[in-house]
Amino acid sequence: MPFYTMPDQEQLFVRRFGSGKPVVVLSGLGMQSWQWVPFLFSNTKGFEFIIPEWRGFGRSKDCAIPEDLDSISSHWRDLEHLLKQLQLEKFAMIGYSMGATTAMHGMQYGSLSERLQAYLHIDQTPKIRVDNTWEYGLFGTRYKEFRRFLHLINELLQAYPNVTHIHELPETYRQELIETWLKFIEFQSSNKYSPMLFKVALKRPQLQKYLLPIQRLDYLRWYVQNYLNHREDYRNTLQQLECPTTFFIGKKSTLYPEKGQTLIASQLKNARHVYFENSGHTPLITEPKKFRHEIRRFLEDLNAA
């Protein structure tokens, strides 16, 4: 069945295809499960892929936001409940970006480490915050600038806490939110076409709802607050992982500095790292052929183990 009942009775959509060894795939922020299909479908003989869609996205977009949990804790609770329903005791896992954070959260606060047969960690840091113990958090040396943008966006979203969709905002606030988001996109410098599209949409309100990564503003508030308040440090937990582990690292990643990812990978007993020389945080978009090839290699190693 495609939908699974979570502890709060919400229905989470889970895409499943293939047959064989189970591989749980945890997506990044804003992704939908179908986006993995081009990279996994050729491996359906021998592996079953299990891809939950996080609350707020895809066919899980209407799931309620838990009142008592931040987004990462909520994702882990949903995942833990799903694994229980599927009766999965041993499996491989692929975690990308926010999905990798959810995986690390499960290693730290659950028994996930003991159940993994292999783990693929894609472009994520074990500690979001930058401080005197860790300089390789989100945006590295530009972390304070990043937080400034999040605070501005959060203030705009909090001004109308009961508004669910962007078109319901007063025009002044809507324009300010879009303009602030445009500056945030330019700050990231991740897509040269995005600023141009945003500037076009500034004068076309009917297009503005498509510019934000999440259509519902209540979910956007939830995720923004998570990145503002996330204080977890998963370094020790990740370093203790004993199963075969592979790191996909974007050499040009501005979100999560390559040096920090390489440092952590080198400290695991049973790990290797794969560099994507021409990629930042999205190697599946910028180097899709290599991304597909390296996932196949990860799965072949799993079969050989």
φ/ψ of 287, rounded to 5, equals: -135, 60
Q: Which fold has domain 3-127+232-304?
A: Rossmann fold (3.40.50)
Q: Does residue 205 have a pLDDT over 90? A: no
Which of 282, 304, 283, 286 has its CA nearest to residue 294? 283
Region 122-129: what's the mean pLDDT?
A: 96
Average pLDDT on 201-215 reads 58
Q: In this predicted model, what pLDDT tens digit does every residue of 10-46 receive, in sequence order? A: 999 999 999 999 999 999 998 999 999 999 999 999 9
Question: Could you give the maximum distance between any two Cα atoms of the chain, in Å?
Answer: 59
Average pLDDT rounded to a whole number, residues 50-71:
94
Average predicted confidence (pLDDT) for the chain: 90
Question: Comparing 62-66, 74-78, 205-209, 286-290, which segment has the lowest mean pLDDT?
Answer: 205-209
Q: How confident is the model at residue 211 (pLDDT cuts 50, 70, 90)?
A: low
CB-hemisphere CA count at 13 Å for 124? Answer: 26
How large is the average pLDDT for residues 170-190?
A: 78
- Rounded to 5 degrees, φ, ψ at 282 are -125, 65
More confident residue, 168 or 93: 93
Residues of the chain with CATH 3.40.50.1820: 3-127+232-304
Contact 23, 15 (CB under 8 A): no
Per residue in 154-169, pLDDT tens? Answer: 998 898 888 888 888 8
Burial degree of 210 (CB within 10 A; 0-12, 13-18, 19+): exposed
Q: What is the distance of C-alpha 8 from the center of its chain?
A: 22
Look up residue 53 and give its amino acid.
E
Look at the alpha carbons of 164, 54, 15, 99 in this order and tell me if their dihedral is positive or negative. Answer: positive
> Which run of H or of E encompasses 298?
helix 288-304
Beta strands in 134-293 (DSSP E): 245-250, 271-276
Q: What's the confidence (pLDDT) of residue 165? A: 84
Pick the residue with more confidence: 255 or 105?
A: 105
3-state helix, strand, coil in the chain (%, to 5): 50, 20, 35
Q: Tell me: pLDDT of 6 over 80.
A: yes
Q: What is the mean pLDDT of residues 72-81?
A: 97
Partnered with residue 46 across adjacent β-strands are: 20
Using CB atoms within 10 Å of the CB of residue 135, give its burial: 0 to 12 exposed, 13 to 18 middle, 19+ buried: middle
